[in-house]
Every structure is written in C-alpha cells, then in structure tokens.
Structure 1
Amino acid sequence: MLFVTIYTTQFLVTASMGVIFAYLADLQDRYGLSHLELGMVAAAGFVAGLLAQLLLSPLVDRGHHRLVAWISVTAAVFGAFGFVFAEETWSLVTSRALAGLSFGLFGLVARKALIGRDISGSGAKVGGLLSCAVAGFISGPAIGAALSGISFEAPFLLTGTLMLLLGPVAAVLISKSPIAAASVDYSDLGNLLRRPRVQAAICVHVGIWGLIGIFDATVDRYLTDVGLSSGELAVGLLIIGIPLMALPPYTGALAERLGGGRVGVPALLLFVPAVLLYGWIGGLASFIAVGLAEAVTESYGVMGAQVLVLEATGAEQAAMGTGVLEAVGLLVAAGAAFGGPPLYGQLGPRWLFGGWAVACLILAVIAMLRLKAVKIPPKVITQSH
C-alpha cells in the first residue's frame, strides 16, 4: 500500500509539472510573455524546489516528515489549480513555484519513507520513484494535448482534482512510516558538501539537471519553430521517456552493486554527445533518436549520483544528502531555465546545447578527480562513510 500510493502520488506531482511544460509556448503566445518572462515562469519551479529542499531536508532527517509531506501535497493542489485562474506573469510564476515546491518536497519525504531504517536495497526503491516521476512528467504533455480541445484549464483541473483526492492519503501513509531519524542541523550541510563522493555526485547531477533546465524552458519553443505540433511533441516525449520509466530500478540496483561512481561518471561522459546532438534536431524522428540516447545515459547518471550520496550518508542522513544533491541540481536547472530562452533567441539551439555539452565534459573530469580522493572503494551501499 505504501509503495503503490507513494509511486502514484509522485506520478501526479510530476504530471502537474509536465502539463505546463508542453504549454510554455502557448503561455507565451496566450499572455504575450517576453522571452525573459517565459524564463521566469520556467525557472520558478526549480527555484522553489531548491529552497524548499535546502531549508526542510534536515527536518525530515530529524523525524518531521509528516509536516513536510502535508506541505508538499497542499502545494501540489494549489499549484495545479493556480493555472486555472492565473492571467498575469506574477500569478503564473506563483503557480509554477507551488508546483516546484511540491515536486522538491514530495521526492524528499518519499525517498525517506521508502528507505526506512535500512539503506540496503535503496537503489531499486529510489529508482522506482524516479521511474514514476519521469512517467508523470512525460505524461503531462499527453494529458495537456488530450484535454486541450476542451479548454486550456482542463488539464490543470484534472491533475489538481486527482492530487486533492490522493495526496492526503499519501501524506498519512508517509507520516506513519518508520524512518531512521538523526540529530542533524544546518551545519551538517557543510560537512556533507566536503565529502568527495557527494562532490562527485553533484558534478553528475549538475550536468544532467542543467540540460533538464534548458530542455524544460526551450524545447517546446524550439520544436514549434522546427514545425512540430503539440501532439507530435507529446508523442516524442512519451517515446523518449521510456528508458527513464523502465531503467532506473535496474540502474539503481546496478549502482548499488558496483558503486555509484562506477556507474554515474561513465554515464555523464556518454551523456555529452547526446546533449550536443540536441542542437541539430530537424524533426520528430531526429528528436526521438537523440532523446532516446540521452534518456538511457541519464537513467544511469541520475541513479549513480543518488547511490553515491547514499554511500556517504547512510539511512540517517538520507533526506539531507539527497536533498542537497537535488537542491544543487535544481539551482543549476533554475539558472538554465531562466537563461535558456534568451540564449536560444540570441544564439540558436546549436550553440546553446553545444555549450552545455562542453560543460558536462568538464564536470565528468572533475567528478573523476574527486573520486580519486576516496580511499575506500565505493562498493557496498550499506556502509556509511
């Protein structure tokens, strides 16, 4: 019951984020938003998730997961319904921020509840959560396309209503879940950031989440300019999302068995050419081909980074460790989402994605150098170093 409810709620939380993803170009045209205003809307969700994770992750590790779970599901409901009534830039930004707040916090408490008191097997559990998150995100545009004929507001009414029904159930179950609590405070965040494994994981996560920010803020505009319809975009997203829906439980288990660094860093290196090729998309077929390659490497990279952090934190500080990882990723994604549309307008897709490919290559090298500082081989996840 716990696993099914958490996974389903995670699907809905990210579906709410995914609906607006496919509507960014429509929002710009509907409300006459500038590229800068569009970047503000796209970035707001990442900024809200970042701040929430940094501020509240220690509370989860201290045992206050009930409070955080309720904040998350409440924000999801108001974020979805907010787009039904939003008309001005500030209200669009606020609604997007509430959706991002829910996205950041629900993943935090969900991982803590799934891991429980024993970190063993967490790679597959956290991988399953990622699979549901991706399924929700890529289903959002399909939901939007299917209901757009009814009205612009219909997809948001649907996701908000479903979250209103299921969210409280998830919050109650999470509240009752046994967790490994620890006496941590904000000073422990600095200690975590000084650990080589955490630094290597952050490098991998930054590379991946930077692309997510750019992708989130520009691809709808980019593919609309190329000539794809909203329906074609939704189909493309569904197809390229298949690896990220299917692989994370297995890539997480592999990272747990081999060590997070041995999976995450090579994945980031293989991620580079896919990022570069995103700038050369000419239609639906090339979008799907490049997207599939990127999604496979992303599934290995994200789970390698997650396991690297769990190797360093153990179950007791899992929320804070993964929260720091996600927060840094969200910070980069927010910057990329904010700067992506203006850079796309000025430089075009080839320079935009090509530049980030170079950044990912540099990050992979830094991650390898940091892992050399780890004296104990990163082999067994059940140990905390």
Structure 2
Amino acid sequence: MGLRDRFQNLKESVSQWTEDISGNSPDKKIEKNLVEMESGSEIARTAAVKALVIQAQIDEKWLNPIINSFTRVLPKQPGTTQEAIIDGLMELRKHSPSKDKEIFEALQRTFDSPHPSVRSKVVEIWTRFSLKSNAKESDTISDLFEILSDEDKDVRYQTQESLIKILNTVPKAALPQLKKALSDDDWRVVYHSIVILTNFAKKHPGPSVALAPEVIKAFNSGERLKERAAECIGILGLSNPEAMKPAVPGLIKGIESKSSELRKASSKAIGRIGSKNAMVVYHAVPKLAKALKNDDWYIHVEVVKALGYIGSNKPALVKPHLEIIRNRTKTGAERNICQAAEWALKKAGG
C-alpha cells in the first residue's frame, strides 16, 4: 500500500471517528429519528418517519427494528404521522416479507384511528391487499362491513366502493355478508349495503334475488332508504319479477310520494319489473298514468318509460292510457320527455 493510500485510509478513519464523537454516525441519526418520532411535533415526527424509511433500506440491520417501532407507535401518532408510517410500512414490507402478518395486524388496528384520512387510506390499502390475496375470503370483508357505520361520510363511501370491488370477485362470500348487513340496526350500514347489492345484482342477478325480502323490508322501513331500495328492487325485478311482487304496494305509494326522487325511483322500478312480467305491476298502471297529469315534469321520463315497458309486455294494460302518452309526445316540458313518450307509444302499440 502506497503512502497516498495509507494517508487516505487514515483520513477516512479520522473522519469516521469524528462523526462518531459528534453523534452524526448513521446509527446515531437513526436513534435520534426514533426519539423524534415519539416526542417531536407532528411535522417533526412525520419528517423523522420519512427519514427512517430511507435509513431502514440503506442499513439492513435496522430494517426490522424500525418496522417494529413503526407498528408499536402507530396507534398513538397524529394523523399525518400515521399516514407516513403506513406508507413506510407498505414500502418496507417489500424488503421484509416475514413481517407481513405483523404489519397488517397493525394496519387493521388503525381502522379505529380518530383521523378520517387515515381510515380512508387503510380501507384503500386493505382493498388492494384483499384483491391480490386470499384475505378476501377471510375476515377482511367483515372488517370492511363494520366500517360502513363510520361517522365520516367519505370513509363510508370509499368502503362501499371497496366492497363492491371485492364482493364481485367472491360471490359465494358476498351473499351471507350482505344478508347480515341488510338487517343491521344502523341505517347507514343498510343504506350502503343496498347500494352494494344493487351493483352486485347487475353481475350476479340470480343469486341476488335471495335477498329480495331484506331489500323490500328496508324499502318499507324508513324514508332514508326508500330511493336506493327502489333502485335495487327494480334491478332484482329484471331477474325475477315475481319475487318483487310484495314490493309493488310500496312502490305504488312511492309514485304518490311528496318526494320527486322517490316518485322517479319507484316509477323506474315498476317499469323494470313490468318489462318482464306486466301482471305483477298491473295495479300500478293507473297511478303511472295519473302521474303524467302531474305538473312535476321531473318524473315524466321515467313514468312514460315505465308505461312503455309494461305495454311492451302486456299492451292491453296500457291501452286505456295511450292518449295521455301521445299527448306527451307534443306537450312534454322537455325534449327528452317527448322522445321518451314517442318510444313508449311504439312499445305499447300506439
């Protein structure tokens, strides 16, 4: 070794010794960040977490200890720090697969985080994880259904969308969970479960009809659920109109409701059921015709379409009301009403 090389080695040794003395060695920096993560301000904690994620990937001996620290302190952290730790754990799990179970148990505990943004993040991660693994067949679905009662609206809707994605991949697991959720005491759980079932029924119509009694009960139980339940009843009616017969009296009342949205939803549901079996909804035909005389033109498109669907299945039922449909081809308050009336007239044989 030449003199220059010996001098360089001496210089590096002195530099390393100086760093160790001053507390700036990599290990000291990591220890400092670990302390900062638990005792600093929210900004300082979050910065420390981000630094630790990088340091864990640089020095392998610190990888698992840092993961352990993250999972230990995660529940006690402020919102942005929790999010940073969650992001960090998802990154570090790539380098330490043996820690997967521990990491996901820690994530599961953050479903109870007081921070809505954190709960939303965990729902999104849980969904991705479930779609890529067998976890979608375990307790994951149950965990997500519980979050449908979350106080935060955004969290509930994200969970709803997540369940729609997951349940479509495991239809056998979907129905028992949905049946249970549709009977929940919390109206929010029932509301979102109806939306989930409506989407599920579009892809799995036959099995979904088994839950018709629960949906009809929800429709009849309270105003908050009626519009969504009416939509679901209509979708189920496309597959099995006879199973929806108990819903028809409630739908007829819906046509006469003070709520335009409910009148519209009820008319659409009756039209869908009637397109497959008009006799199931024949009592509704006079009410639909009467609704066309109403000044609430907002519902007229769905009303004339419902009459058209029923008329295409059983023209005699709609024949007494062809004149009012014909009248709407010229006097509809909007062009789309006139066009819908023209379509309905042809369908009903007018």
TM-score between the two structures when normalised by the length of structure 1: 0.22
**Structure with more relative contact order (C-alpha pairs < 8 Å, separation 6 or more):** 1
Instruction: Choose 1 or 2 for highest CA Rg.
Output: 2
TM-score between the two structures when normalised by the length of structure 2: 0.24
